[in-house]
Amino acid sequence: MEYVRMNNDLECPVIGIGTFMLKPAEAQNSVREALKMGYSLIDTANAYVNERAVGRGIRESGVNREDVFVSTKLWPSEYENENAVNETLERLGLEYVDLLYIHQPAGNWLAGYRQLEKAYREGKAKAIGISNFEGEFIKELETKWEIAPQFIQVEAHPYFTQKELRKTLDKYNIRLMAWYPLGHGDKSLLNEEIFAKLAAKYGKSPAQVILRWHTQMGFVVIPGSRNVDHIRDNLNILDFTLTDEEMAEIAKLDQGVRYYHRTDEQLVGFAAWRPQFETE
């Protein structure tokens, strides 16, 4: 496994498994099998409503807790819930998480960030992060944090490399964890000529080449899957290295193209919606 070093001098694996849109039974199975095959980073969230299942998958894997890097996110409806962190840990069945995010810049997000800082000071979160904070939101947070985040989780892929955001991230050595790392499965991205050429050269798939590009950009990737073969393929990207020239060719694909466009109405909805958490 390869790792990135965070601004608090701890390390995070460069590739993990995401559990977005996985039902509890699927998340439990994917996490268990991923850990058995060598993954050590697991990403979930309050809003995914599978934290209990993720916890079960970790325990069933037989992998020691200290060898698993667990990332989760507080949902906006929980930002003012003083027990949100403890309730999250209870669902996961853990005494601490390795990385705790606030999920959206919605509602009283500053109260949510203060919860992260408190959890960090108390050792309930070894690192803290922000998810989907860009533009004016990250500029405002930059003036208000007491502890700088270690991570940000945002959309990133070869069509959208977050150039502007990375100017702020680089200033504080904040690491980027990418969602939609394969462009939301867009065939036009996966079928780009450069990826076909590199896939043939290295004996990989275009998707594996793109994931390797992410890690060489310094990004962490968390592709999710319920298919064990796909989970294994996603991990099999660390036995080759793209050259500087190849990275430069891929850089030419950056078009500033997003696949997800958030609206103000959605931010209001995020703040109001409360997940119906698993009970068992």
Put the strands of the sheet holding 220-221 in their side by side order. Answer: 17-18, 41-43, 69-74, 99-102, 128-131, 151-155, 175-179, 220-221
Q: Which tokens go with 100?
A: 């705790």
Per-residue pLDDT averaged across 3-16, rounded?
Answer: 98
Q: The pTM is what?
A: 0.96
Percent of the chain's residues with pLDDT above 70: 100
Q: Which CATH class is domain 9-272?
A: alpha beta
Per-residue model confidence as pLDDT tens digits over 74-113: 999 999 999 999 999 999 999 999 999 999 999 999 999 9
Could you give the CA distance from residue 10 to residue 4 in angstroms, rounded to a whole number?
8
- The answer to whether the beta carbons of residues 270 and 106 sit under 8 Å apart is yes
185 — pLDDT class (breaks 50, 70, 90): confident
Residues annotated as part of the active site: 48
Question: What integer pLDDT is reported at residue 126 of this predicted model?
Answer: 98
Per-residue model confidence as pLDDT tens digits over 201-244: 999 999 999 999 999 999 999 999 999 999 999 999 999 999 99
Per-residue model confidence as pLDDT tens digits over 95-106: 999 999 999 999
Per-residue model confidence as pLDDT tens digits over 115-144: 999 999 999 999 999 999 999 999 999 999
Could you give the CA distance from residue 60 to residue 270 in angstroms, rounded to a whole number?
33
Q: Does residue 163 surpass a pLDDT of 90?
A: yes
The single-letter DSSP state of residue 160 is B
What is the CB neighbour count within 10 angstroms for residue 53?
Answer: 27
